Amino acid sequence: MQTKVMIALLLAIILALIARPAEAAPPLVYCVTKRIERVPGCYDALRLAADRDYRWLSVDCCRAVYATLPATCFLKVFRDLILPISVFRDICTNTVPATAQSPSF
């Protein structure tokens, strides 16, 4: 009798885990790009930086990237390319050293 109860309980737990609905992924939070758009050519420089062309990134552009909130938002670079703002912050830190030393905004 005790074995049957244990098996039934174990079976109920397994079925509950299997029948559990899938958790939805959190929605993407897009970045507010007002600060980036205020710096001439910054948005285009970020698009090029997404393709590993860092020549056009400026200190002002990187400061605008650091000022973009929230820190976990996503920046729509192209129609089919959406990247976290943290990617661009890392790029700015590694390619524009003045930004990493003095991120005043």
C-beta of residue 33 within 8 angstroms of C-beta of residue 75? yes
| pLDDT tens for each residue of 33-82 | 999 999 999 999 999 999 999 999 999 999 999 999 888 999 999 888 99
pLDDT band, residue 9 (cuts 50/70/90)? confident
Q: Where on the phi/psi map is residue 27: left (φ > 0), alpha (ψ -120 to 50), or beta?
A: beta
Q: How far apart are CA 32 and CA 73, in angstroms?
A: 8
Helix axes 85-95, 59-67, angle to 10 degrees: 150
